[in-house]
Amino acid sequence: MAEPHDLTALEQAAAIRRGELSSVELVEHQLRRVDAFADTVGAFVTVTPDRARAAARAADAVPVDERGPLHGVPTAIKDLTLTAGVRTTFGSAAFADFVPPVDADVVRLMADAGLVSLGKTTTSELGCSLYSEGLVAPPARNPWQLAYTAGGSSGGAAAAVAAGLVPVAQGSDGGGSLRIPASLCGLVGYKPSRGLVSGGPLGFGAFGLPTNGPLGRTVTDVAALLDVLARPVPGEPYLPPVPPAGGYLAAARDGSPGRLRIGRFTTPMLADVPVHPDCVAAVDRAAELLTAAGHEVVEVPAPLGPAAWPLFETVWYVLALAPVPAGRESELLPLTRFLRERGAAVGAGPLMAALGELQAQVRLGVRRTAGCDLLLCPTLAAPQAPVGAFAALDPADDFDQQRRFSPYCAVFNVTGDPSVSLPVGRTADGLPVGVLLTGRYGADATLIGTAGQLEHACGGWDQHPAIWRAAGSANVNITSGIGYASE
């Protein structure tokens, strides 16, 4: 007998439409799980139960024929994302008491679609690192093995979805921040094409690197949330790609993108590091399944190499220079202060030169793989990393080790191409291993359709760690702990 959190986001919405569950009942169920497990996995900075209950009552009052595919479904908002009237800390003690007066466009769009936010999920400070371990919330831990990080900067969102606290969540990705946590936690993390999802109403676009996007357990759930987020908003700095007929959910359900040429590589792009055999094995398995589905998989050179790293480094230093309240710089973490000090030393001329040279190298890299519809590579150079492993280092070493752990994702933030991490592999211990599938700019429907096809070939990815059944289950009894389990 399934419990409400066993249902996918689309299944939850369907149950609401049929009258089998109400949004209020779902929200109460998920809030009980949040109360039981949120601190254990470090999922939330701020929980908003009263707002969620009010939103659920409003969702239940909407006529059935006016409801969208995710109407009434519980979700969560990343703590980097402005949410009017709700404490938004950006993962930092320097913003511990900040309450925005406005919603980010994606928050408004999700509310308009009838989704119900339970609160704000844990993130890295100012989105600066690929792990989510700050001073305003417990560290985001991987529900599959609590000794390991859930990643960052959307680490709390991944922990919440993988632990069954919400079925889907909003995140953002400026250098892998959706795809890294997805790979670690066995989820689907989708970075849309540049301009497809609004970054407004505030901000300058950050050179086009970051974008909002969905995180979920299945490709169809992620596609349904992308349909909600990918609404044109006036004033955005990048022209949005044309959406497919029927939307991205239809593309995911169709699962037949046609015969594609897929370029495979495993050579790391931003660091000269060995790649863990489990990460290579996951790419091999994906390549075999894609070939069996009728696609042509060919070896290609990596689009970029480690020589491009100093250019990325310069840009990321500057991106750390977000405004901080006067007199509160000392409350920032050592890594954040290090990045900001380096960024403050970069002049306008060197920054423009780095951006120009980086774009030139990206153009050359794209031409190296010009005959391919999709690219396939590892998401990360290693399957997992312990909580505290990076933060325990000197800030300069911390930043360098992050590059070595994640030498693939960020390149596609510069190209603006859509990119998704898919949980194709497993370690010998049963922990998730992701692969990165990347499409051509604007071809999100092709990428999502192929991801759905690969999910079907794998037999589905909606698998769960032991914490899924650790409490509140009439069906399964387990001993909770920091070990892993799957079902």
484 pLDDT more than 60: no
Helix (H, G, I), strand (E, B) or coil at 386: strand
Average pLDDT over residues 6-17: 98
Provide the CATH number for the domain around residue 261: 3.90.1300.10
Helix (H, G, I), strand (E, B) or coil at 76: strand
DSSP readout, 310-321?
A: HHHHHHHHHHT-
- Work out the pLDDT band at 203, boundaries 50, 70, 90: confident
Q: Do 336 and 125 touch, CB atoms closer than 8 A?
A: yes
Predicted confidence at residue 50, as pLDDT, reads 98
Ranges assigned E (strand) in 255-366: 261-264, 296-299
Predicted confidence at residue 474, as pLDDT, reads 34
List pLDDT tens digits, range 48-76: 999 999 999 999 999 999 999 999 999 99
Average pLDDT over residues 12-34: 98
Residue 208 falls inside a structural domain: yes
- Cis-peptide, bond into residue 153, ω within 30° of zero: yes
Predicted confidence at residue 473, as pLDDT, reads 38
List pLDDT tens digits, range 388-412: 999 999 999 999 999 999 999 999 9
Catalytic residue among 117, 132, 177, 421: 177
Q: Do 97 and 53 touch, CB atoms closer than 8 A?
A: no
Predicted confidence at residue 471, as pLDDT, reads 65
- Work out the pLDDT band at 255, boundaries 50, 70, 90: confident
Known catalytic residue at 191: no
Residue 478 falls inside a structural domain: no
Residue 484 falls inside a structural domain: no
Known catalytic residue at 78: yes
- Domain count of the fold of the chain: 1
- Work out the pLDDT band at 259, boundaries 50, 70, 90: very high
Average pLDDT over residues 161-167: 98
- DSSP state, 426? E
479 pLDDT more than 50: no
Known catalytic residue at 256: no
- Identity at 463, one-letter amino acid code: Q
List pLDDT tens digits, range 278-308: 999 999 999 999 999 999 999 999 999 999 9
List pLDDT tens digits, range 331-378: 999 999 999 999 999 999 999 999 999 999 999 999 999 999 999 999
d(CA 204, CA 214): 21
Strands of the sheet containing 44-47, edge to edge, are 44-47, 116-121, 74-78
Q: Which two tokens stand for residue 472?
A: 């509140």
Q: Which two tokens stand for residue 55?
A: 């939103």
Residue 285 falls inside a structural domain: yes
DSSP bridge partners of 169: 215
Residue 136 falls inside a structural domain: yes
d(CA 114, CA 67): 7
Average pLDDT over residues 160-183: 98
Residue 476 falls inside a structural domain: no
Q: Is 185 left (phi over 0), alpha (psi -120 to 50) or beta?
A: alpha
Q: Do 426 and 186 touch, CB atoms closer than 8 A?
A: no
pTM: 0.96
Catalytic residue among 153, 172, 193, 198: 153
Range of the domain at 22: 4-469
Residue 220 falls inside a structural domain: yes
Q: Where are the alpha helices (DSSP H) in 118-271?
A: 155-162, 179-185, 219-229, 247-254
**Minimal CA–CA distance to 483: which of 136, 142, 252?**
142
Q: How many CA atoms lie within 13 A of 311 on its CB side?
A: 21
Average pLDDT over residues 28-52: 98
Catalytic residue among 78, 132, 198, 421: 78
Average pLDDT over residues 126-153: 98
145 pLDDT more than 60: yes
Q: Do 274 and 381 touch, CB atoms closer than 8 A?
A: yes
